[in-house]
Structure 1
Amino acid sequence: MFQFTHDFIHLQFCFKDYSMMVFNMESRIRTAVLALLCAQAGLGFSVAGQQEGTCEANGSLYFVGEWYFLDSDHCTQCECTSEGSACSRTECTSLPAACIHVSHYPTDCCPRCEKIGCEYRGVVYELGQNFQPSECEQCTCDSDGIARCLVADCAPPPCVNPIYQPGKCCPECKEGPNCYVNASRSQVIPAGEPIWVDSCTKCRCHDGQDAGYWEGNRLATCSRLKNCTPEQPSTQKE
């Protein structure tokens, strides 16, 4: 059986300059070389089984005091002691809440956070960055990795044919305020003064001063003359 302090003296005596070179080798190579040297020196060291003062793991022998990680679990580190291997497992800390790119390399115990920020609709933004994903949204990438947005509250347009201009959030009435004459929506009249839509009927669009009117109501208010038979449309104004 190989006894380190006693037999190392014999190794030094037998192999002189080679002994320190051997003990500076990587443990697996060192084990094989020592087995050969000890056999030649007639010392009782063999790699056929685990020897006193060594620990067997990862297909190798480790000497007392040596540290190593298990090949099967890179989170478990062990120390070879006189009573065998003493191991402890590293517990991975939580990744930042704002981590949006995680990598886990085969030789690492714990995953790595490669990038922090916010991902919003497939686009990545830096922490603290203000951005405008659309004309109607103003957003900020907060420190917790969540994008928080304010959406513009557009008032209902005072017309029946609003358009959206490039770069603007809320719709505009290019032709000015207007409304439908009736529920058939076949005739549109401009807002402002009352309009005679025929010889018997006069209609008026509500304007911006009529609070709440455009909340879903785009029909004119009309009055009809009694005992009147329409002949043809008129643009007569009152």
Structure 2
Amino acid sequence: MHFRLTFCLACCFIMACHSCDLDCSTVKCVVPNCIDTYTPPHQCCPICRPKPCNYKGQVYIDGQQFKDDCNTCTCSLGSVSCTQLGCPVNPTTCMIDGIIYSDGDELPWTTCETCHCRAGQVACYRKAAILGECMENPSLNPSL
């Protein structure tokens, strides 16, 4: 008899056959932490009904993991949670005082220099028109 019961339960849970009669009267179920529950066929305990997630215009199924930049996100019961990793800066951008500048952007610098972001590096050039003024007044150009 024990073999028949074990086989029947294995059949129902693994192969999903319909010839088993489960006795759920002695099973203690954990109450799922959700509002919309259902009990799947050939199981005794209710589970949360899977809900899709909509994230940045894309639909993901319950349990699906996906990337958002350098972070990993998971769809769970209609909500998306993502890791909060700091993504590496693009190698063609420049970061100064926490501000990211794109390649070619002019950077706010000193009165005596013009600076741009070039291939991830800050490139500065002295302004020729006021070069004499900068030499005479070092406070306008602290890099001198």
Q: Which structure exhibits the higher relative contact order, with contacts defined as CA atoms closer than 8 Å and separated by 6 or more residues?
A: 2
The TM-score range, normalised by the shorter chain, is 0.3 to 0.5
TM-score, normalised to structure 1, is 0.25
More helix by share: 2
